[in-house]
Structure 1
Amino acid sequence: MNSMRLSSTRLASIAAVAVASTILLSSCAANEPTPGGESPSGLSGTIHGGGASSQDAAQQAWVAAFQNANSGVTVEYEPTGSGAGRDNFVAGANSFTGSDRAFKDEELAKDNFAGCVPSTPIVEIPNYISPIAIIFNLDGVTSLNLDADTIAGIFKGDITKWNDPKIASQNADADLPDLAITAVHRSDESGTTENFTDYLSANSPVWDAEASGDWPYEGGEAAAQTSGVVDAVTNGTGTIGYADASRAGGLGTVAVKVGGDYVEYSAAAAAAIVDESPAAPGRDAVDLAIELDRTSDAAGVYPIVLVSYLIACSDYADDAVVDLVKAYLGYIISDEGQAVGVEAAGIAPISATLFEKAKTAIDSIK
């Protein structure tokens, strides 16, 4: 699906902006607008957003940079998790939200978005493309190769020791201890969980549960939000979990088997799977939801990828938020905004074609 691939011109532009973004990020703090009245852009006021905790690092950087350029504006983003973010958007508590999945057809059919004019479509833009890293804390081991069946067995609770033959056979050079595995999962409804379980459901018969934002099995250790999972893995012994790759830090990570190769996570590998995936059918032109192809065996593809969305009304019941929402979302998808996201969270920049579609959708908001 070549239309989704990053153009070399746009990628070069984003790379050029990234150096300036580093300086910008070091000079301003998130949620602290530059003192003063109305900004040179003429924008002023406050908008409330929230949702995906996976987007938190990028959102903090986007908020800081946007407020620095628009001193009369306050943007609030609370990383409540995708499920809470969608609920708050439905209730009209958020002017925009971040979600690690798009709204489902049956959710859209209810047409109960309190902040939007009834019977108007919502805007959904895949603005944040990032691999989900399988992270672990195992003394002396920094990287492991695992196939889908083994990953499923670990997180389902069927594989309970680090020196299990199913792990050892794929990692001949690793010194694997006779140590219990503690698998950590999200306790809250999570788009990260839904993306992770979607990969397992699509690729392994061991995983006999449906893809879901709620963890489907008993056992293991539960932790709230991305930060909770990372903390639990970091502070445990023999722990393993899953989190947005921007939060992997110094933890061990897993290279996932795709076809005949083991593929480590990277922004480029995450973008590759998005490029291979079609648009969700039957959606409005401003709803840019896609259907990820988790089973692709194309070279260099990393299938455990999170595509997180910006979600907004196409027609707001409160006209006062329209200009602010359009300006902030437009900034995020711009070359500068994507460069800030690369620097702060290691995202894969959206393609030139996706940018044009997203810009058209944002420009149409009223």
Structure 2
Amino acid sequence: MKLQRNGRTKALAIGAVAVVSSLTLAACGSDNNTPAASTTTSAASGTSASAAGADCGSGQLLGAGSTAQANAVTQWVKDFQAKCPGVTVNYNANGSGAGITSFESGKVAFAGSDAALKPADITATQAACPGGQGIDLPMIGGPIAIGYNLPGVTGLILDAPTLAKIFNGKITKWNDPAIKALNPTATLPGLAIQTFHRVDGSGTTANFTAYLAATAASDFPYAANKLWPAKSGQSANGSAGLAAQVKKVAGSISYFELSYATSGNISTAKIATGATAPVDATAANASAAAADAPVVGTGADLAIKLNYATKADNAYPIILVTYEIACDKGNKAATLPALKAFLNYTVSDAGQQSVASLGYFPLPAALAAKVKAGIAALA
């Protein structure tokens, strides 16, 4: 099974996470995302609640987690609620770690995560899934950009060892010889490097640390982790928080999804991987890096293994695939129809293509078919 390439990538204006229809997105919110009273109308779609109810379910559907997929979820909810006005979907973009915690405690019907569940997490989900457990359903992919604020410097090139030393506090000045060697024609200032990492548990952090662990272990001697493992650097909450810090702090550098960089007009580094040329952070290049990712989950779980160490031309290696986590069995009867309807829309061709312009790449047909079968089997 191979992930296909998709060449579409475009900027998304996001800033603060938008509220669409009845969707609640709280990038720094608590686990309590019970929606305020709201009314969903169907004037735009011309679809009545009664006509859609049989296929859509009804009532409130709560989700929480990944900020990386928040922009996609905003679009998905807007589209879904136009078709299914009898359902109110509320997604609290509070980070993958917080979303998984909410799911394990039974507060939400699904969680978004940029990293697959670990064995301990799967065990913890069983309390919320009577007779079953949480499973990973891949939903969308995208690049993790390395955003930087270095006045007068564009087209910055970095590689894994240099990034590892920067984020581990071993390289502290922008005119360090290692950075100069990668950027021989750039005028690099002697400005102090200020790194920013996520303070919250994050699948984006898990993927970024997995990349460093896979490609520069001697300079970043930590295992992949959703909590930032190194002692150096400053912290901020959520991808939006990291992007905001980079935008305002000269000499700063951080990691966040591409849409946060493009919406904030933040410069992003090219990554030297050993390929013919350094690689830009684009959805198409991220898709190329994920082209050989196999499914490694067992049973109904569809977790995949990404190749962070790729050296293929035009393959951007710092990537993530975001998952929706749901109970394979033991879902609440009142919300199961709406859950299945919403997830079916997100993995549909229409749902996948609706977010392609936001910096995401869609699942390949073969994997999407597995996800659709997994959604149909939810009970």
Do both share a fold (TM > 0.5)? Answer: yes
Q: Summarize the alignment of residues 1-366 of structure 1 with structure 2, pairs less than 5 Å apart.
A: 3-6=1-4, 29=21, 31=23, 34-35=40-41, 38-42=49-53, 43-108=57-122, 110=123, 112-118=125-131, 120-204=132-216, 205-249=218-262, 250-260=265-275, 261-280=277-296, 283-284=298-299, 286-343=300-357, 345-366=358-379
Per-residue deviation, 1:5: 3.7
Residues 190, 213 of structure 1: 8 Å contact kept: yes
Per-residue deviation, 1:361: 0.5
Per-residue deviation, 1:81: 0.4
Cα gap change, 1:62 to 1:33, in 2 (>3 Å):
farther
Q: Which runs of 5+ in 1 are unaligned?
A: 19-25
What amino acid is aligned across from residue 41 of structure 2 in structure 1? Answer: P
The alignment of Structure 1 onto Structure 2 pairs a total of residues equal to 345
Cα distance in structure 2, aligned partners of 1:5 and 1:68:
30
Per-residue deviation, 1:181: 0.7
Q: RMSD of the TM alignment (CA)?
A: 2.2
Cα gap change, 1:46 to 1:181, in 2 (>3 Å):
same
What amino acid is aligned across from residue 277 of structure 1 in structure 2? Answer: A
Q: Which runs of 5+ in 2 are unaligned?
A: 11-17, 24-37, 43-47
Residues 91, 113 of structure 1: 8 Å contact kept: no
Residues 21, 40 of structure 2: 8 Å contact kept: no
Percent identity between the two aligned chains: 38
Cα distance in structure 2, aligned partners of 1:51 and 1:84:
6
Cα distance in structure 2, aligned partners of 1:105 and 1:33:
40
Q: Deviations over 1:280-315 (max 9, x none)?
A: 15x11x211011121222222211101110111122
What amino acid is aligned across from residue 41 of structure 1 in structure 2? Answer: A
Greater mean deviation of Cα atoms: 146-155 or 293-302: 293-302
Cα distance in structure 1, aligned partners of 2:74 and 2:93:
10
Moved over 6 A (4+): none
Greater mean deviation of Cα atoms: 36-45 or 299-308: 36-45
Q: 1:106 aligns to what SS in structure 2?
A: helix
Cα distance in structure 2, aligned partners of 1:206 and 1:325:
43
Cα distance in structure 1, aligned partners of 2:125 and 2:79:
33
Cα distance in structure 2, aligned partners of 1:96 and 1:142:
40
- TM-score, normalised with respect to structure 2: 0.86
Per-residue deviation, 1:64: 1.1
Q: Deviations over 1:94-149 (max 9, x none)?
A: 101100111112332x254333222x243311112011000001112232111111
Per-residue deviation, 1:33: 6.3
Cα gap change, 1:30 to 1:240, in 2 (>3 Å):
farther
Give the structure with the larger helix fraction. 1
Cα distance in structure 2, aligned partners of 1:168 and 1:267:
28
- TM-score, normalised with respect to structure 1: 0.89
Cα gap change, 1:191 to 1:325, in 2 (>3 Å):
same
Q: 1:309 aligns to what SS in structure 2?
A: strand
Q: 1:97 aligns to what SS in structure 2?
A: strand
